[in-house]
Amino acid sequence: MKKFLYFFLSVVIIVLISKVYQSSLPEYSPKRDYVDLENEILKAFILAEDNSTIELPEGHFLFSQSLSLDNKKRVIIKGKGMDKTVLSFKGQTQGAEGIKITNSQNIVLQDFSIEDAAGDNLKVSDTDTLTIKRIRTAWTGKVSTENGAYGIYPVLSSNILIEECEAIAASDAGIYVGQSKNVKIKNNKAYYNVAGIESENSTNVEIHNNEIFQNTSGLLIFDLPGLTVYGKNIKAFDNQIFDNNQINFGVPGSIVSSVPKGTGVIIMATKNVDFFNNNVSNHKTSNLAIVSYKVFAADKDLESGSQISKTASEGIRFIDSEFEKDKGYNPYPGRVYIHDNKFSNTYRFPTLSNDFGKLWYIKNNARIPDIVYDGILPEGIKLNSNEVRICVKNNDNDSFVYLDAENEFINFSNDLSLFNCELKL
């Protein structure tokens, strides 16, 4: 009997410990009082005519299926404010998205919240001229791998403005612009996501005056292989990026599930990136990293996927190892200019949860660097040649690491003088 009691007691203790561990994940639990106006709102979407406005009333509306607009011109979808009009897809039985807009032109969404879709809360594809204003997207309850992937997700679209929005608790990226052109992302807040804001394979993107905090990683500027288009020309300025140290709760297999926690900004394989006037602080791995697709692929965050299964951290290939076959893809960053930013850190010691953090203990006197550059170059190309040039200038506090990742860190260095240059972007 006593043995059994001890056994039982230890089970209780283990459960409680794991609960405490889990409770380090944040929670977003607004008060909701759902009503069902599904048929009427659905009809308003489906029968929307060109040049019309869908006025969403005040209330917390629950839906069993996606709301969609297809092939429409000049339609405004307007709520009574992000706190007053809430569209919830909690427990939806049909469709993956909350709101899905396809093949349209001149679409405006403003002043409401979208919550708890099975997949993405708001997905817009193949659309030209899109404004998303004062929209809040969130997954409610404790942050979880079960949450949908993207909060605000325009893809294969052009002339996009995303402003004054809030993106909370996405298991991939809160605001994610993919394979798009001419994009402005400004004055938004992104928190509790795996990635706060992400620009992927997009061209002519301006990201400014956003507040990005308490995500696994704050801002990702990525170019990935195997897709229809590649990106360049990104400007990121006047952003506040801080405290992005959340445990990675991304779905194993997704690219963000391999993002090391505690990175403020990651610029990967993208060309012509102008990063200036930002305030980046309090990250346990590094405030900013400039990397090629190759080094990113090699790292694994030990904590990521731990809730799923062991095989996830070993067996899953989140990286397309055949990227070298993709002739249109260039896996190296180039013409990246980091200037006039403010970097700071209240954390003294690097995280032990990923290879970068551990490396700092061995190679960097157990200090967290502000800026990391992997230094991996295309064959036969020199560090200072124009197409791969990285310039770092005029920042407030910019402790620097040049990894020389290609050569097993032989030329690991903190010397910034090689990168003291200017770029016209």
Partner 1 sequence: MIINNTVFKILFFILCIAFSRCDSNSRKRPLAKKVSLKPTMTLKNTNEKKKLSEYSFFKGKISDLVPNKNVFPYELNTPLFSNYAFKKRFIYLPDRTQIEYLKDEVFSFSNGSILIKNFFYPTDFRKEKGDKKIIETRLLIKENNNWKALNYIWDENQNDAYLNYIGTQTKVSWTDINGKNKSIIYNIPNNNQCKNCHLNGKMVTPIGITAFQLNKKYSSVAFKINQLKYFEEKNILVGLPDFDEIPKFPIWNQKNSASIEKRAKAYLDINCAHCHNPKGSAKNSGLDLSFNQRDLRKQGIFKPPVAAGKGSGNLKYSIVPGHPEESILIFRMKSQAPGVMMPEIGRSVVHKEGVSLISEYIENLKESSF
Q: Which of residues 65-124 bind partner 1 (CB under 8 A)?
A: 65, 68-71, 90-96, 102-103, 116, 118-119
Selected from 163, 211, 320, 406, the binder of partner 1 by CB under 8 A is 320
Q: In terms of CB distance, is 179 or 270 closer to partner 1?
A: 179
Rounded CA gap, 101 and 255, in Å? 24
> Applying CB under 8 A, what is the total number of residues that bind partner 1?
78
Q: Does 45 bind partner 1 (CB under 8 A)?
A: yes
Rounded CA gap, 97 and 115, in Å? 10
DSSP annotation of 114 reads E
Q: Does 228 bind partner 1 (CB under 8 A)?
A: yes
Q: Does 179 bind partner 1 (CB under 8 A)?
A: yes
Q: Does 12 bind partner 1 (CB under 8 A)?
A: yes
Rounded CA gap, 265 and 338, in Å? 11
Hey, which residues between 285 and 314 contact partner 1 (CB under 8 A)?
308-309, 311-312
- Contact, 99 vs 66, CB < 8 A? yes
Q: In terms of CB distance, is 54 or 416 closer to partner 1?
A: 54
Query: What type of residue sits at position 238?
Result: D
Rounded CA gap, 396 and 314, in Å? 39
Q: Does 46 bind partner 1 (CB under 8 A)?
A: yes
Q: In terms of CB distance, is 178 or 260 closer to partner 1?
A: 178
Q: Does 227 bind partner 1 (CB under 8 A)?
A: yes
Hey, which residues between 153 and 172 contact partner 1 (CB under 8 A)?
155-156, 171-172
Hey, which residues between 392 and 421 contact partner 1 (CB under 8 A)?
none
Q: In terms of CB distance, is 145 or 240 closer to partner 1?
A: 145
Q: In terms of CB distance, is 229 or 391 closer to partner 1?
A: 229
Q: Does 43 bind partner 1 (CB under 8 A)?
A: yes
Q: Does 36 bind partner 1 (CB under 8 A)?
A: yes
Query: What type of residue sits at position 176?
Result: Y
Distance of closest approach, residue 14 Cβ to partner 1, in angstroms: 10
Selected from 31, 315, 348, 424, the binder of partner 1 by CB under 8 A is 315
Any idea what the Cα angle at residue 390 is, between residues 239 and 373, rounded to 5°? Answer: 80
Judged by CB under 8 A, the stretch of 75-83, 139-147, 182-190, 390-398 that binds partner 1 is 139-147
Task: Indicate the burial class of 17 (C-beta count within 10 angstroms; 0-12, 13-18, 19 or more).
Answer: exposed
Judged by CB under 8 A, the stretch of 15-23, 234-242, 392-400, 404-412 that binds partner 1 is 15-23
Query: What type of residue sits at position 166?
Result: E
| Sequence-distant (≥ 6) Cβ neighbours of residue 412 within 8 angstroms | 363, 401, 402, 403, 404
| Sequence-distant (≥ 6) Cβ neighbours of residue 311 within 8 angstroms | none
Hey, which residues between 48 and 67 contact partner 1 (CB under 8 A)?
49, 54-55, 57, 59, 61-62, 64-65
Distance of closest approach, residue 406 Cβ to partner 1, in angstroms: 24
Length of the chain: 425
Question: Which string of DSSP letters, residue by residue, matches 178-241?
Answer: ES-EEEEEES-EEESSSEEEEEES-EEEEEES-EEESSSEEEEEE--SSSS---EEEEEES-EE
Judged by CB under 8 A, the stretch of 6-14, 107-115, 383-391, 409-417 that binds partner 1 is 6-14
